[in-house]
Amino acid sequence: MRAIGMGLTCLAMLAAGGGATCRREAPQPQASQIEKADQARKANKADEMSNEVKKSDEQWRAELTDEQYRVMRQCGTEPAFSGKYWNTKTPGVYLCAACGQELYDSQTKFDSGSGWPSFFAPVDEAHIATRSDTSYGMVRTELVCSRCGAHLGHVFDDGPDPTGQRHCINSAALELKERTE
């Protein structure tokens, strides 16, 4: 019930503004997520640095579709119920569409009623970073790919067990690598 309410709130915001964007301020991730990510980076600093993706705006524009660029590089939001993965049940792993880093497993995907792909946990906490988003006069937690910094979506505390979290992700930021079992 709460997820549906959040979805309607998101729909109303999108209808009023024609698309959400993030107003970024100084990143303020949750302490536990910072600590986990820092520990993972320190444990394997050389590998982490070799995997970091940094490209110019011109390179991102050339490599991404217009929609992917708007969502991932400009913090846009696709309209609810419009993305290719919002209702997908295909088994597999969802990768960052910009850099290919594994983000979410389909086993953690659930129907939140919001119109965006929703997951209760990432494949690896170190693959997701968070930032404070104060757009639309509210404070939310933005989710970004830790490898390339691409905007993915937002996290809310109205998800199912075992985490209680709902990672609300734009389909344009994802690429599904299907599992062949």
Q: Taking a C-beta distance cutoff of 8 angstroms, is the pair 141, 162 a contact? A: no
The yes-or-no answer on residue 168 being catalytic is yes
Q: Which residues, other chains included, contact 46 with Cβ-Cβ below 8 Å and sequence gap of 6+?
A: none
Q: What length is written for the chain?
A: 181
Where does residue 123 fall: left (phi above 0), alpha (psi -120 to 50 degrees), or beta otherwise? alpha
Q: Which of 10, 99, 148, 168 is catalytic?
A: 168
**For the residues of 100-118, what is the DSSP string, one character each?**
--EEEEGGGEE--SSSS-E
Distance CA 131, CA 87 (A): 27
The residue written with tokens 């302490």 in the block is: 31
Active-site residue set = 168
